[in-house]
Amino acid sequence: MIRALFVGSLANPSASGRQRSWALRACGVNVIEVDIGDFKPTAERLVGNAARLLKRPRWTLDAPRLEATVATLCKEHRPQLIWIEWPRTFRPGAIEALRKLADSPVIISFQDDNPFGDRQTDRWQWKAYFRSIPEFDLHLIKRPEDARHLADFGATHTRLWEHGVYTPLYHPSPAEKRYPASFVGTCMDDRVQFFETLLMAGLPVHVFGTRWETRSTLPARFPHLFHGPVFGEAYADVLRTSDIALGLVSHSNMDEWTMRTYEVPACGTALLAERTPTHQRWFEENRDAIFFSGVEECVSRIQWALEHSDARIEIASNGAQKACQPDWRLDTRMAVLLKSLFPDWSHSTEVP
């Protein structure tokens, strides 16, 4: 049995890191978890502001204690795989020490944010990561162009990671629809102007998420359409009880897909997504999903979908059939990765 040490954010029941840790266990891996949430500083907001002001990413966590904990667990459990998510606080020397362990573990860096994207104000968070890049055996990346950027910093191996459906949470149900249209996400990029256009057009789009009250006046102007953040089953229930759910990519991250790309169709709801090359490769437009390019087309596509319930329901059904295929499952995709890392490994991924 493969032993793995997994370092990531695990508190949120629908967090993508928690899903990846589950997928490893679903593949029969013995996983020892380290939740980075346990290493947040006591005065988190105060320390976070100081870290941002002085551009010290290692201050955002108790980095020395985290590194020491990981080193101790590795000596105790001797994992063959060390998986570190968003390793923005690890010193190069700490990763190098892990590489020198007697069992020669494979050390993976996972991050699907984009340190090379347009979020210039966040670039300071990646200072330690840039120095540690050469120390990792493998970088799992979201965008093909990330491979070139990482190679410039000394990365030797990269692999494209396409997440997959987390089946314990995302699946269709016969629940009654409550929301004509919904979006779950943070207020960021150009989303204030985007949703203002939708709502001013009279569209009943319900928005769930954080920072909308602090970054816009929309919740005050449309209080019946704005809700707080939802997690876990509550989040999946919003998707399942929506006629349409929007999948907006992060433009500042230069993304072509989002977690909603998997979650919405897996919940049996019609996906309304931006017309990106990846979305067009994965779905047949107007058969498996509905696409738009720009806010004006999004308005017309929502209006069309709400007016044509039979077509919308058929699209939702087709999308669900695609998302429920075995090769779309997260654990199936994790098994493919494990097989590439450990050729002698084999395990059935037929899990609940």
Interatomic CA distance for residues 209 and 14, integer angstroms: 14
pLDDT beyond 80 at 59: no
Residue scoring higher pLDDT (6 or 101):
6
Percent of the chain with pLDDT over 90: 80
Residue 209 banded pLDDT, cuts 50, 70, 90: very high
pLDDT digits (tens, 9 = 90+) for 159-176: 999 999 999 999 999 889
Task: Output the pLDDT for position 351.
Answer: 43
Task: Output the pLDDT for position 175.
Answer: 86
Task: Output the pLDDT for position 350.
Answer: 47
Rg of the Cα atoms in the chain: 21
Q: What's the DSSP call for residue 88?
A: -
Domains 3-164+329-341 and 179-327 share a fold: yes
Q: Give 306: exposed, middle or buried? Use CB within 10 Å, 0-12, 13-18, 19+.
A: middle
Q: What is the mean pLDDT of residues 268-272?
A: 98
Whole-number Cα distances in Å, 28 to 22, 62, 85, 326: 10, 31, 20, 17
Q: What is the mean pLDDT of residues 11-40?
A: 94
Least confident of 46-50, 156-160, 215-219: 46-50
Interatomic CA distance for residues 63 and 88, integer angstroms: 10
Which CATH architecture best describes the domain 179-327? 3-Layer(aba) Sandwich (3.40)
Which position has the token pair 């029969």? Answer: 28
Q: What's the DSSP call for residue 145?
A: H
Residue 50 banded pLDDT, cuts 50, 70, 90: confident
Q: What is the mean pLDDT of the chain?
A: 93
pLDDT beyond 60 at 183: yes
Letter for the amino acid at 71? Answer: A
pLDDT digits (tens, 9 = 90+) for 106-140: 999 998 888 887 766 777 888 889 999 999 999 99
Q: Cβ neighbours of residue 269 under 8 Å, at least 6 residues apart? A: 239, 240, 242, 243, 244, 245, 316, 319
Q: What is the mean pLDDT of residues 264-287?
A: 97
Interatomic CA distance for residues 300 and 313, integer angstroms: 18
Q: What is the mean pLDDT of residues 55-61?
A: 80
Q: What is the mean pLDDT of residues 254-272?
A: 96
Least confident of 17-26, 33-42, 238-247: 33-42
Task: Output the pLDDT for position 120.
Answer: 65
Which CATH architecture best describes the domain 3-164+329-341? 3-Layer(aba) Sandwich (3.40)
Least confident of 87-91, 327-331, 335-339: 87-91
Task: Output the pLDDT for position 348.
Answer: 54
Residue 66 banded pLDDT, cuts 50, 70, 90: very high
At residue 23's C-alpha, the angle toward residues 255 and 332, to 5°, is 80
pTM of the model: 0.92
Q: Would residue 189 be called left, alpha or beta, if left means φ above 0 and alpha means ψ between -120 and 50 degrees?
A: left
CB atoms within 10 A of CB 239: 24
Q: What is the mean pLDDT of residues 220-235?
A: 97
Task: Output the pLDDT for position 123.
Answer: 77
Q: What is the mean pLDDT of residues 292-314?
A: 98
Q: Cβ neighbours of residue 171 under 8 Å, at least 6 residues apart? A: 266, 267, 268, 324
Q: What's the DSSP call for residue 175?
A: P
Domain boundaries, the chain: 3-164+329-341, 179-327
Q: What is the 3-state secondary structure (H, E, C) of 239-289?
A: HHCEEEEEECCCCCCCCCCCHHHHHHHHCCCEEEEECCHHHHHHCCECCCE
